[in-house]
Chains A and B, each alone.
Chain A
Amino acid sequence: MTAVVEARGLGRTLALEPPVLLVADASFSIMAGSFTSIIGPSGCGKSSLLYLLGLLDRPTQGQLLVDGQDVTGLGGDARARIRLERFGFVFQFHFLLPELTALENVMLPMRRLGRLGNAAVRERAMSLLGDLALGEKVDRLPGQLSGGERQRVAIARALANDPAVILADEPTGSLDSVNSERVLATLHQLAREQARAVICVTHDSSIAASADTCIRMLDGRVVAMG
């Protein structure tokens, strides 16, 4: 079984004066159906690593493989395509488009991919939101939703194109404990029941404890895995 995402000596240095090291020499494999957490103190490079894994940023060292293929040297359009088809992002702050309703936000990635017809896109968006208990609120703008609801809309949008990998950056960071539980349970469910790879950056040690794999970072380096 090949890894969905594989890092081989992955590193990222900002070409500032002096150079800033964000991530150095990260090597690991992420398997389908696994829940991986990335933990470490603030500023150690967790988000930076996640951006590299999600093809939002380009590594300055090492290689990145997605579905066994080297994507390190790909151009912007090809990388955008992989993000669209294979990845779903969930951030600490919900990051929804404020002018679009919950439903329209969820439909966006599907419409860009263009594989489904309009009716099918709508139906799938409705069902994704329904699964996350948002069936009643599909036509609300993000401003008319609570923090937890927004984060669930963001998860629904991340799932829209049936991605292989969910990348979450402190998804519960701005939520209360009840909503945190709920979001987390959803992410675990995605890994276990739908065989997606979930990579979750977190400060929360209980989340880390519940993960299949935990990547511990310090000063840009992976210091422990297990």
Chain B
Amino acid sequence: MSGRLGLLAGLAAKQVAMRRRQTLVAVSGVAVGVGFFLAVSAMMIGSQADFIRTLIDAAPHIIISDELRSPPPQPGAVAYTGGAIAIRHQKARTEARGLKDWQEILRAVDEVPGAIGSPSLTGGLTLRLGGREEAIALIGVEPDIESKVSTVEDNLRVGRLRDLQTVPGGLIVGEDLAQRMGLQVGDVVGATTAGGARTLRIVGLFKKGRGQLSSASGYVLLREAQSVLGRPFVVNRIGVKLVDPYQSQEVAGRLEKRFGYKAESWQERSADFLSLLVTRNVIMYSVVSAILLVASFGIYTVVSTSVADKVRDIAILRSIGFSEGDLQLVFVIEGVALALIGVVLGWMLGYGLMAILGSLRFPIAGEDQTLPLDRSARQYAVAAAASLLSAVVAAWLPARKASRVDPVDILRSAA
């Protein structure tokens, strides 16, 4: 069998060697297709991975909050399921919100290997300095734990999260807010809540342009927040960081099922963004497949002219005793051989393009940024597989004609 394949491949190789110019066109078509496939997909996948990393890191992987997705069923309805009575318009108890069993939730989080849970309390607060007032979201955290769970620490321009522990009544706000209120590190500012008023001292500033964080948030110690907001021992949010962020949905589901509180994974939080990425991928793969498809047209052309030029040889081979399948295979091999050469050249082209793209520097926010590129071997394999597959199809269509050549017709017309 391998002898037969070798023989047929040898015959195909003669074809390839004979039609240099056409071969060159077809091969460069595939090479350009593969090269650009690699360059484009490296950029798209690279930037996507970058986006997702940002998404994952932007906030804890899972946020458990004191919200319920659906109100708990009334005890009456539970006790008499399927009863003739439906309870409507009942008056619910107005609970003091907060995660009731937050310590137990934290213990459950700790049971997940490598997972860290950071409890926090968030509430509304008004900062007051001179005549100026700003409403902010006050967030009380345990600095040591919070810095492991979220990237808040990375967003600090001045000070550290730790400083909250050393300065009593320490507060970290954003540069944007500080600018609006004319605050500086070390300044003391008045804070008013529904419960009362007190003073806090600025110990750090978040970088500009970080949205909510730099314009309308303030970080304090968890204990401080509980006392400022008048909700001692209450925690209304737990941020969870996992070792493998892709387990978030599963872990979130489990926690939510167990405790009833809404546990939102980063995937759920950014569902619309992720679906946008899917759309982007669909567009990319259609464009790239179109490139590869066009490349396979070249192969189709070469193989079909080969077949047309070689009907005489096909008849000879058939009379010698080559089968229809043999002849079909000769031309499929011819097409695949062209694609193979094209793929190898395309790999080199793609490698070169990626090297160029990777060397470009973009000054963004004062830092030299490079394009995030995905240069994994997987893309090379995908490009090769896709081109070879389309080459087989592109060669197979005209190769069928070779197997249908009736030797008698050719012999008759040649005589």
Q: Chain A interface (Cβ within 8 Å of chain B)?
A: 47, 51, 54, 56-57, 76-77, 80-85, 87, 89, 91-93, 95-100, 108-109, 111-114, 157, 161, 169-170
Contact = CB atoms under 8 A, between A and B. Distances in A.
Given A51-B408, A80-B324, A91-B415, A112 B316 contact: no
A157 B320 contact: yes
B4 interface: yes
Contacts of A85: 321
A222 B102 CA distance: 105
Interface in B367-415: 407-408, 411-412, 414-415
In order of increasing CB-CB distance, the 9 nearest A-B pairs are A84-B321, A80-B323, A83-B321, A114-B3, A99-B14, A57-B408, A89-B319, A77-B323, A111-B7
28 contacts: A47-B412, A54-B319, A56-B319, A56-B407, A57-B408, A80-B318, A80-B321, A80-B322, A80-B323, A85-B321, A89-B319, A91-B411, A91-B414, A93-B414, A93-B415, A95-B312, A95-B316, A95-B319, A95-B414, A97-B313, A100-B14, A109-B321, A112-B7, A112-B320, A112-B326, A114-B3, A114-B4, A161-B321
A221 B411 CA distance: 21
Interface string B306-335: 000000110111111111111000000000
B4 A112 contact: yes
B287 interface: no
Contacts of B276: none
A112 B411 contact: no
B318 to A, nearest CB: 7
Contacts of A80: 318, 321-324, 326
Contacts of B326: 80, 112
B18 interface: yes
Nearest to A83: B321
Given A80-B323, A95-B411, A95-B414, 9 more contacts: A56-B408, A91-B411, A95-B319, A97-B313, A108-B7, A111-B3, A111-B7, A169-B415, A170-B415
B4 to A, nearest CB: 7
Interface centre among B319, B323, B324, B408 (most CB of A within 10 A): B319
A204 to B, nearest CB: 16
B408 A109 contact: no
B325 A77 contact: yes
Contacts of B318: 56, 80
Contacts of A83: 319-321
A125 to B, nearest CB: 14
Contacts of A161: 321
B411 A84 contact: no
Interface string B33-52: 00000000000000000000
Interface of B: 3-4, 7, 14, 18, 312-313, 315-326, 407-408, 411-412, 414-415
A85 B322 CA distance: 11
Contacts of B14: 99-100
Nearest to B323: A80
Contacts of B312: 95
Contact of A89 (B320, B324, B325): B320
A92 B415 contact: yes
Contacts of A77: 323-325
A108 B320 contact: yes
Contacts of B18: 99
B315 to A, nearest CB: 8
Contacts of B411: 47, 51, 56, 91, 95, 169
B14 to A, nearest CB: 5
A89 B320 CA distance: 7
Contacts of A113: 321
A112 B322 contact: yes
B7 A81 contact: no
Nearest to B410: A95
A92 B326 CA distance: 25
Contacts of A91: 319, 411, 414-415
B330 to A, nearest CB: 12
Contacts of A97: 313, 316-317
A54 B411 CA distance: 13
Nearest to A54: B319
Interface centre among B317, B323, B325, B412 (most CB of A within 10 A): B323
A157 B316 CA distance: 11
B407 to A, nearest CB: 5
A81 B321 contact: yes
Interface centre among B312, B320, B325 (most CB of A within 10 A): B320
A51 B317 CA distance: 15
Nearest to A85: B321
B51 to A, nearest CB: 55
Nearest to B325: A77
Contacts of B313: 97-98
A57 B408 CA distance: 7
B320 A76 contact: no
A113 B321 CA distance: 9
Contacts of A170: 415
Nearest to A51: B408
A12 to B, nearest CB: 10
